[in-house]
Structure 1
Amino acid sequence: MSATGAAASGSARARGRCAPHEGSEYLVSAETAEQLRQVMVHGVNRLSEWLSRTSRPGTGTAPGELRPLVEGVDLDTPLGSTAAALAELDHLYLADAVRYDDPRYAANLSCPVVIPAVLAETVLSALNTSVDNWDDSVGATLVEQRLIRWTAELIGFGAGADGVFTSGGTQSNLHALLLAREIAADSARNCDPGIRTVHVLPRLRVLTSEHSHFSVARAAELMGLGSEAVVAVPTDNQRRMCPRALSRAFEDYHTADTTVMAVVATAGTTDYGSIDPITEIAAQCRERGVWLHVDAAYGGGLLVSPRRRNLLAGIEMADTVTVDFHKTYFQPVSSSALVVRDGAVLGRLTHHAVFLNPADDPNPNLADKSLQTTRRFDALKLWLTLRVLGPRMIGAMVDAVIDLADEVWGLLDADPRFRVLVRPSLSTLVFRYEPTKHGPPEVMDAANRHARHALRVSNAGVVAATSVAERTYLKFTLLNPRATVGDFAGLIEDLAGHAHAYTLGTADSADND
C-alpha cells in the first residue's frame, strides 16, 4: 500500500473504523486530500508543459492511424499509477488533440476557455455535486438560480422569469419546444374537450428559418411530430428569416387543419451567424398568440456586448430563449441554459418522485424544471468566471472576435481569388476559392476540399467546410480573442496556395489524358 493509503488506513483505525477496501485510497475524501493535491499538481504541470511546447492547432490524424494504438490498450491490466496513465495519454490523445486556443483554429463553434472556469470544473468534478434536489446540492441550487435570474435580466424578462441549465443548445431547444407543444395541446383541448393529445400532434407545425439549427427538426422527431412538421421559412440575402415569408407561412399553416405551435427565431445561425429580425417576428407571434422561441445559442454572447447588444433587439418578447455559455462566454463544455419568460410554465413538464423531489418538499429542487435528473453543477463555471472577470470583460472579448471577423471579411471580399457570401453579424465567414478565371464547379469543389485537408495535415490551421446550393464552401469560425488579422491573412494565403496547386495538377492530368 502507498504511504498515502497507509496513512488513511491508520486514520480510519484511530477513529474506530474498519480498514478501507482496496481501491478506496483513490476516492476523493478528507483522508486523500493530500494525494488529490499531489495528483492535480502533477497533472496540471504536465498539461502546462504540453500547452507550452505544442505550437499547432491540430494534426489532421486519420482514425485509421490512431485506432490501433487505442485498441491495443489492455483495459483489464491497470498501469498502477497516475503518472504512467498520463504518459500513455500523451500519445493516445494529447499528441493529436485539437487546440481551440490556437489562433489558427477557426473551424467550429468551439471556443478557448477562461482559467477561472477550468478551476471551477476541477472543483465541481471533485465534489461530484448533482443539482437535482436540495439535499444533494445545498448552495449549488441557489447559485444556478441566481445565474438564471441574471441571464433573464440581461434578456429583458421580468421578475416571473425562470429557467434551468442544460447540456447544450440541442437540449435547450428541445425543452423549449416541449413546453410549446404542451401549450398548443392544451389550447386544442380547450377548443375540443374530447380530443386526445395523440390526435393533436399531426396538426402541429413549427416555423423556423431555412438556416436554423438541425436540433429544431430533431426536437420535432423526438416529440412525435416528425421532421416534416418543421416548416423552413425562406430567408433574405443575409440569410435572415424574411418577415413576409413568415406571414405567408402563418397563412398556410395557422388554419383549421394545422396549428403553428411555435416559431423559432435564430440569433446566430451556425454557418453565417445571421440574426433573424426578432422584433418583427415577435410582433407576428403575439398577434396570433403563437409561442416564440429564440435560439441564441451562438448569439447569446451579445447580451453582454458593450457595443452590439442592439442586435438582439426584441429578444425580450420571446417566450423562451436558449443561451450557450460554452460558445461565446468562453466556458468549458457543457454550459447552456433555457430561460423562460413565464417561469410557471416549466411546471407543465414536472414529475415528482418521493425519493427525489416530493411534491410537498418546501425546498427548491431543480429536478422539477429539468429534463435531466442527475445533472452536473455546470453553473459554477460561469459563476466563478463572472466573479473573476465580470460580464464587461466577457463582452469585450465577444466584440473583439466580431471585429476580427469583419476585418477578415474585408480581406476575403477584396481578394479576387475568393468569393465570400455574407458580411458577418457575428464571427463566422462562409467563402470559397473561386478565382475570376476558374474551372468547372466540380473542380472548384474538389480544390476547396483539398485546400482544407492540406491545411490541416500540414498543421498550419483548421477550418471548416459547408455546402451552399450543393457547392463546397469553406468556413472560418472566429471565437479566439487572441487571434489577429495577420493570422488569417496567412491562412488565406495557405488555402489559396493549396487550392491553386490542386487546380494546376488537375489541368496537367487533363492535358496528359
Structure 2
Amino acid sequence: MKNSNQNSNHNSDWSDVFVHLDPQAQPNYLNAIAHSARELSAMFTTVKAPYSGLEPAKLNEKIMAMPIGKTPIAPLAEIITNNVNLIGKNSIIVQHPHCIAHLHTPPLIPALAAETIISALNQSMDSWDQASSATYVEQKMTDWLCELFGYDLVQSATNNGADGVFTSGGTQSNLMGLLLARDRVVEQTSGESVQKDGLPSYAEKLRILCSHTSHFTVQKSASLMGLGERAVVTVATDEFGCLGIDALKATIADLQSQDLMPFCVVGTAGTTDLGAIDDLQAIAAISEQHNMWFHVDGAYGGALILSSHKDRLAGIELADSISTDFHKLFFQPISCGALLIRDNHNFKYLLHHADYLNRETDELPNLVDKSIATTKRFDALKLLMSMQALGTDKFGAMYDHLISLTQDVGALVKATDKFELLAQPQLSTVLFRYNDLITSGDVSTEREEQICMINQRLRLDLLTAGQAVLGETKINGYTCLKLTILNPCLQLHDFESLFTKIADFAELQAYTK
C-alpha cells in the first residue's frame, strides 16, 4: 500500500494536464492555448487554396495512421504542431475566397475569444448549480432575441410572454418547434399528453405543411416525432420558390375534406438554395384562422432582422416559434442556434423533473426545463461578446454588403462567357452552371444530361484538386453549381478570379471533348 505522501506525489503528476487553480500550474494552460493560436495563425498565413488538394484516400490513410498509445507519444507542443500540420492544413479552409459552397461562415474573432472562455469554464447549461452566471447570460440573450424579432416578453391576457433557449442549430430548433406544435394539438384535441401517454390513436391523421423548397429537417423532425415523413405535405411554390398562399389554402381545405388534421405550417425565411423568404404575414393569418401552429425556419435569413432588408421578415413576430442559427449569418463558431417561442407556456411540453437535477422545489432557474438536451454548451456567451464587440449596426452593414454583392455576382455570371445564371438571386446564393455548349442552341435531352454530368464532375474535381469548394444542387430537375456568399470580406474581384479559374479548369479537363 502506498503511503499518503506517495499518493500525493502521484496525483501531482496530473495537475499539468488540467486548468488548475494552483497558480504554478497556469503556465501549462497559457502555453497550450498560445501555442495552438500561433500554429493556426502561421498556418492561415500560408494558405493558398480552400483545400490542400491531398487525395482523399491518402488523407484518410494518414489520419488512420496517427498513433495513440498507453503513454504520451510526444510533448503537447509537438502534438499541437503535428495536428495543425496534418489536420489543419488538410481541412476545408472556410476563410478562403473560393470556399463558397455551404451555409458555413468564417467565425468572428470575438466569438473565438468567447470559445476560449467557454471551453475553460466548461459550464453545463442544464442546471443553475452547474452554470450560475451562464444561465443568466443565456436568458439575457434569449430575451434580447425575442424582442429583436418582435416578441413581447410581458405576460398578457392571451399568453405568458415570450421565451427561448439556445440549441445546437437549426435542426434541433426546428425539431423542438414542431414537437411543441404536435403536443399542443394533441392536448387541445383530446386532452391527452404525448409526453406521458405517447401518440394518440389519431396520430396518423396529423399533417405538417411546408413548401417544396423548405429544409429537409421538417421531414426529418416528423420522422423523429413518430409521425413519419409522409405526415409532411409539401405545398407548391411560386416562381421565386416561396410557399404559394393560394396553394396553401387549397391544401388545407383538401386535407380537411379527407378528415385529416393539418396542425402546423412551416414558413421559411431563406431557403437553402434559392434564398426565398415566404410571405410570413399571409401564412400567419391562415394559421390563426385554422388554429394551426406557425413555425418559422429562420436559420438562414433570420439575420436580416438587423439589416436594411428586415421588412422582408414582416410577420415573423406572429409566429408561434422561430428557429434561428447563429453559425450562419451571425458568423459564430459551430455550433450555435436558438428556438424562440411567442408563449413560454408551451415549454411545458418539454418539462420533466429529475430529483438529482431540476427538482420541483428549486427556486433558481434550470434551463433543462425548456430543452430537449440535458448537457449543452454555453454558446450564448459567443453571441453576447460578438454583439458587444461589433454592435448590431455593423452586423446589419455586413448583411447589406453580402446581399448587394450577391446581386453583382449574379450579373457577373450573366455577363461571363460559358456560364448560365439559373435563378435571380434573392438572398446570398447564386445558382449557375458551366455550359460550353451555350451558343449551340441545342436543347435536347442528351445535351442537358451532358451538361449535368459536366457540372457534377466539375464540382468534385475542383474540390479534390484544392481549387474551389462549390455547392451542387438541382433546380427544375437540372444539376447546377451554387455559391453561398456568407463572407463579408469578399469583393467582386474574388468572383471574377473564381469564374476564370472554373472556366480554365473545365477547359483543361476537356469534359466535352
When the two structures are superposed, what TM-score results if normalisation uses the length of structure 1? 0.91
The 1:256/1:462 distance shift into structure 2, 3 A limit, reads closer
Contact 1:147/1:379 (8 A) holds in 2: yes
Correspondence 1:270 to 2:272 = yes
Aligned to 2:147: 153
| Conservation of the 8 A alpha-carbon contact between 2:454 and 2:511 | no
Residue 501 of structure 1: how far off its partner (Å): 4.8
Alignment of 1:250-399 (within 5 A): 250-255=252-257, 257-305=259-307, 307-399=308-400
Q: Is the alpha carbon distance of 1:505 and 1:129 closer, same or farther for their aligned partners in structure 2, counting shifts above 3 Å? A: closer
Aligned to 1:455: 462
Unmatched tracts of structure 2, length 5 or more? 154-160
Cα deviation, 1:453-502, whole Å, max 9, x if unaligned, reads: 34334433211111224321000000111111111112122223333455
1:221 equivalent in structure 2: 223
SS of 2:479's partner is: strand
Give CA-to-partner distance per residue, 1:61-102, whole Å, 9 cap, x none.
Answer: 443111211111221253231112122213431121111111
Deviates more, 1:72-81 or 1:398-407: 72-81
Q: Which amino acid aligns with 1:272?
A: L
User: Residue 468 of structure 2 aligns to which amino acid in structure 1?
Assistant: G
Q: 2:111 corresponds to which residue?
A: 117
Could you tell me which residue of structure 2 aligns to residue 73 of structure 1?
Answer: 66
Q: C-alpha deviations, 1:336-363, integer Å up to 9, x for none?
A: 0000000111112110101110111011
Large movers: runs of 4+ above 6 Å? none
The question of whether the paired residues in 2 share the 8 Å contact of 1:450 and 1:498 is answered with no
Percentage of matched positions with identical amino acids: 38
Deviation of the 1:303 alpha carbon: 1.3
Q: How far has the Cα of 1:40 moved from its partner?
A: 1.1
Is the Cα contact below 8 Å between 1:278 and 1:312 reproduced in 2? yes
Cα separation, 2, equivalents of 1:53 and 1:497: 24
Relative to structure 1, is the Cα distance of residues 442 and 256 closer, same or farther in structure 2, using a 3 angstrom cutoff? closer
Equivalence for 1:209: 211
Match of 1:436 in 2: 439
- Compared CA separation, residues 262 and 421, structure 1 to 2 (3 A): same
The one of 18, 28, 43 aligned to 1:27: 18
Q: Deviations over 1:177-203 (max 9, x none)?
A: 0000001111220599xx983313111
8 Å contact from structure 1 (residues 416, 436) kept in 2: no
- Name the SS for the 1:271 alignment partner: coil
CA distance in 1, matches of 2:256, 2:93: 47
- Distance in 2 (alpha carbons) for counterparts of 1:429 and 1:177: 30
**Secondary structure of the structure 2 residue equivalent to 1:105:** coil
Specify the alignment match of 2:86 in structure 1: 92
| Root mean square deviation of aligned Cα | 2.1
CA offset digits 1:19-73 (Å, max 9, x no partner):
6254342011112222111111111111111111212211344431112111112
Partner AA of 1:115 in structure 2: I
Deviates more, 1:418-427 or 1:134-143: 418-427
Of 122, 125, 130, which aligns to 1:131? 125
Aligned letter for 1:189? Answer: S
Equivalent residue number for residue 401 of structure 2: 400
AA matched with 1:25: D
Count matched residues. 490
Q: Which amino acid aligns with 1:478?
A: I
- Distance in 2, matches of 1:153 and 1:414, equals 43
| Residues 377-416 of structure 1, C-alpha deviations (whole Å, 9 max, x = no match) | 0111001111111111112112211111111011112345
Q: 1:49 aligns with which of 42, 45, 50?
A: 42
What is the TM-score normalised by the length of structure 2?
Answer: 0.91
Q: Is the 8 A contact 1:59 1:456 kept in 2?
A: no
Secondary structure of 1:364's counterpart equals coil
DSSP 3-state at the match of 2:129: coil
Ranges in structure 1 where 5+ consecutive residues have no aligned partner: 1-11, 508-513
CA distance in structure 1 between the partners assigned to 2:318 and 2:439 by the alignment: 46
CA distance in 1, matches of 2:146, 2:482: 32
Distance in structure 2 (CA, Å) of the matches to 1:416 and 1:188: 59
